[in-house]
Structure 1
Amino acid sequence: MASLFRSLFVFVCLAATTIAATTTQPYYIITNAETPSLNRPGLTPVGKQRAEDCIPEVFSQLNIGFILSCSVDKDGEEGLGCPVAVKTATPLAQALGLNITLCGTGEESNDDCVHDKVHAFLKASNQSALVVWDGTDMDSLLENADVNDAGLDEDSLGLQQVSSFADLILTVVSGKRVGQTSMNCTGLDGPA
């Protein structure tokens, strides 16, 4: 059943990409995969499975040509979840033959980095982009990337709650969140 939902999601995303290609192609935002409790480093076994199996399966079908993630700030105080965000993105980047571009976090970083790099790529390409970010810093990412709710139903998941769900994919077109869905990873994600 989960693979049926994943196939449906991919179909909808590909259709949105085809429709949006005449204007602006979509980009996608996800958080790092599951991590251990008590701020222990790395990914859990479920997080590793999501990063190594599910994310490449889902996103390799979405014409991704650019992957962006975060780096720890110069003081080592902010963006502590960035190494696991990069670890989450690495299997997909390797499968697609892409490098992972980084933007800093914290007060010393360029607040426009994510917005500028994603939009520069989208403007120069007909492919989509994927942002894989530290789940504990999603509020800053969404603010700095200028992502708005685009008038989605107020009962739908708010942007502030994105960090709570490792399986959530936000779809953004022209700075507006136009959709959200589960990755529907077989054996990892329960019914929505």
Structure 2
Amino acid sequence: MAPDATASPSHRALARRLDGLNIYLVGMMGAGKSAVGRPLAEALGYRFIDADVTLAEAAGRPIAEIFSSDGEETFRALETSVLNGIASWHSLVVATGGGAVTRPENWGHMHQGVVVWLDAPEAELLRRLSADPTHRPLLDAPDPAARLEALLHERRPLYAQADLTVVQDAGLPAEVARQVLDALPSVLRDPRQPPGLPD
């Protein structure tokens, strides 16, 4: 763990302001949601949950198998069920699946917490995905780059509904986690601050 990702007094103060609100990381596959989520959770004293891993464990089979045997709609219904369960917990950093934003019900669950979009450039996403051996069913296409571009075009307006956008490029996960930590206060109200007074 990089030293700058560990808890500090300012991070503990931020955790108190969050008051148990879950943080949901959204973004395209390859945006680093799981990699960033771990140091972010550690800094806040939160637990980290990867929604895709939780879904696969609940279903008892890999996501790629769910896609191939039951189709994307069944997968999305399972994903919504998992997010519904997660929403009843607190003090979590949740890495969501790249397509979680496509269902309005999921936004209902995620907006109970703070939604952070990890926005990475298309070229960086493609570089990371090319180097990652994980099977991505939605990129099973003759031209994965064109498929990624189409998915980005479809999803960017949905990701933009997040409470906070952190634009990142090739930074290390701990550095991006630091960016999120630095930006979070901008979307939180200090509970001690009377309404109408400047921060």
> Under a length normalisation based on structure 2, what TM-score does the superposition of the two structures give?
0.38
The structure whose residues are more often helix, as a share, is: 2
Query: Of the two, which has the highest radius of gyration?
Result: 2
> Under a length normalisation based on structure 1, what TM-score does the superposition of the two structures give?
0.39
The structure whose residues are more often strand, as a share, is: 1
